[in-house]
């Protein structure tokens, strides 16, 4: 604990001089049957730490939420449970004494000092701490900024669950957003209140949720898949064959690195897919040779990058801090690298192909093939699952290959007949 002198912690934003609250707390400590006199200094030291933290973070020391924020800080700092219990008891006694001595109003006003900039920064930190995806971070920050505009001119410390409920109602009734968009905003605000603002969000969880429409996946026939593949130029044709042949999501396919292709065992390894889950998939026989030839060209490009002194491929998380040369290592290069290099603070690097480029090429090929169904990269994942069921594979096998956590998600593909060629009968045909 820090050694705080009287000049460093006198007011602490709480309206009392050091001598006043320390004397009051020691009197309360003397009345506690389970606390001995020699332990009083330990409780006072924890209270000094708490008040110092509240001052630094712009929190009201008498607000209940301030202890929640400080408790999270102690847990993340590795403080042991018995010490946290002691700190909690010290804060409880302080709040009891401070509120009794007329500090409630000061504390309430001081608790509204949280700015939107600090709140969004904390939101980013909490998402990074949980290793959520960059897409989740981008989405949640978007909704935090959108909520800020709705709440203006209030600062982040002045918003509450009731205002968030009005904002969600505004999205549904006035902006007419879809049910999925409304639910995304709800999840973002719940996380924002709970982990960034650290305020009471009771009532917000009772907000009516948008009812998602129960649609069926868009699926191409095998003949339609073949027609689209014939019209795709490389490397987009190879990417699409990989999506269809392994049932990959587009992000999973583009994030593949050389080390993820196991030609010896004919496996494709997906690392940190949706939900941070990994899985191993069989590599289609028809893709082994095309992938090898493709990697020969990628290796030539990588060798040219190394001669030019680039920093190699982008690496996940803090891997480069652990393995300094991993970005230049052939095994860590993208299977589908971007054509152009990207300047960064740590040197020029190469990213993988952008998702929109693949989406545009597939849409163009489907249109050229005269297919009037909606054709996107994810359509090939839907087609993969549906065709597996038509081939006689059981639903549990398909669930595992797709990486679904719940078999109910996989059940959407049972809308097609298990055996192709079976037609549903209609009484109209009997007339």
Query: Active-site residue numbers?
Result: 249, 274, 378, 381, 404, 413
Q: How far apart are CA 156 and CA 164, in angstroms?
A: 12
* Residue 192 tokens, joined: 């924002």
Q: How far apart are CA 217 and CA 376, in angstroms?
A: 12
Q: How far apart are CA 233 and CA 361, in angstroms?
A: 8
Return the closest-CA partner of residue 98 out of 110, 115, 114, 83.
110
Q: How far apart are CA 170 and CA 380, in angstroms?
A: 36
- Bridge partner residues of 261 (DSSP): 268
The dihedral sign for the CA sequence 317, 319, 321, 322: positive
Q: How far apart are CA 22 and CA 124, in angstroms?
A: 37
Packing angle of the helix pair 18-30, 40-57 (nearest 10 deg): 140
Q: Which residue has the tokens 């995806």?
A: 133
167 and 188 Cβ atoms separated by less than 8 Å: no
Strands 267-270 and 261-262: antiparallel
* Residue 181 tokens, joined: 């968009």
Q: How far apart are CA 150 and CA 163, in angstroms?
A: 9
String of DSSP letters for 331-379: GGSBSSEEEEEEEETTEEEEEEPPHHHHHHHHHHHHHHTT--S---HHH
- Bridge partner residues of 348 (DSSP): 343
- For the beta carbon of residue 77, count every other beta carbon within 10 angstroms: 7
Return the closest-CA partner of residue 380 out of 222, 254, 216.
222
């Amino acid at each position: 604990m820090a050694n705080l002198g009287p000049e460093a912690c006198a007011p602490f934003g709480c309206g009392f001089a050091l001598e006043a609250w320390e004397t009051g707390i020691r009197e309360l400590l003397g009345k506690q049957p389970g606390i001995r006199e020699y332990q009083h200094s330990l409780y006072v030291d924890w209270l000094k730490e708490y008040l110092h933290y509240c001052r630094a973070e712009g929190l009201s020391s008498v607000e209940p939420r301030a202890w929640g924020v400080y408790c999270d800080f102690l847990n993340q700092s590795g403080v042991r449970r018995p010490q946290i219990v002691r700190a909690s008891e010290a804060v409880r006694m302080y709040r009891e004494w401070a509120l009794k001595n007329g500090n409630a109003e000061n504390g309430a006003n001081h608790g509204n000092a949280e700015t939107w900039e600090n709140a969004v920064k904390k939101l980013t930190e909490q998402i990074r701490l949980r290793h959520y995806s960059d897409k989740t971070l981008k989405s949640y920050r978007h909704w935090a900024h959108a909520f800020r505009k709705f709440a203006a001119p209030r600062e982040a410390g002045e918003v509450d669950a009731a205002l968030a409920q009005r904002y969600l109602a505004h999205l549904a009734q006035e902006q007419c957003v879809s049910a999925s968009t409304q639910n995304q905003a709800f999840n973002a605000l719940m996380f924002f209140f709970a982990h960034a603002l650290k305020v009471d969000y009771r009532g917000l969880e009772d907000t009516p949720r948008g009812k998602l429409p129960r649609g069926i996946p868009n699926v191409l026939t095998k003949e339609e898949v073949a027609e689209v593949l014939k019209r795709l130029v490389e490397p987009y044709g190879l990417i699409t064959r990989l999506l269809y042949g392994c049932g990959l999501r587009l992000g999973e396919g583009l994030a593949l690195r050389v080390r993820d292709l196991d030609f010896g065992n004919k496996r494709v390894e997906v690392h940190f897919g949706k939900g941070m889950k990994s899985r191993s998939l069989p590599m289609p026989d028809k893709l082994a040779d095309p992938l090898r030839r493709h990697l020969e060209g990628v290796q030539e490009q990588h060798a040219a990058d190394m001669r030019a002194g680039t920093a190699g491929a982008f690496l996940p998380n803090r891997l480069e801090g652990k393995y300094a040369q991993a970005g230049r290592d052939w095994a860590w290069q993208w299977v589908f690298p971007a054509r152009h290099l990207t300047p960064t603070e740590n040197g020029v690097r190469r990213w993988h192909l952008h998702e929109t480029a693949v989406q545009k090429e597939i849409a163009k090929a489907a249109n050229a093939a005269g297919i009037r169904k909606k054709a996107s990269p994810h359509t090939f994942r839907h087609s993969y699952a549906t065709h597996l069921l038509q081939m006689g594979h059981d639903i549990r096998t398909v669930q595992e290959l797709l990486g679904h956590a719940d078999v109910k998600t996989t059940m959407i593909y049972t809308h097609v007949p298990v055996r192709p060629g079976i037609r549903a009968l209609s009484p109209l045909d009997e007339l």
